[in-house]
Amino acid sequence: MMEDNSRARIVAETMKLFNYRGYKSVTMREIANHLGISSRTLYNLFPSKEDIAEEVISLLSQNVNEGILQVRNSKSDPVSKLRQVIYLVKNELIAINPLLIRDISLYVPNLNQRILNRRDEFVQLIEDYIKQGQAAGLIKKEINPELAAHTYIGMLRALINTQNDDMHGYSKEEVFDFLICIFFTGICENHTSK
Q: Percent of the chain beyond pLDDT 90? A: 58
Phi first, then psi, for residue 139 (nearest 5°) are -120, 140
Whether 145 has a pLDDT exceeding 70, the answer reads yes
Fold of the domain spanning 50-192: Tetracycline Repressor; domain 2 (1.10.357)
Separation between Cα atoms, residue 51 and residue 171, nearest integer Å: 32
CA distance 194 to 192: 6
pTM equals 0.82
Integer distance in angstroms from the first to the last C-alpha of the chain?
47
Contact 187, 143 (CB under 8 A): yes
Kindly report the backbone phi and psi dihedral angles of residue 74, in degrees, each rounded to the nearest multiple of 5, phi listed first: -75, 165
**Residue 165: pLDDT band by 50, 70, 90 thresholds?**
low
Mean pLDDT across 10-21: 93
More confident residue, 138 or 101: 138
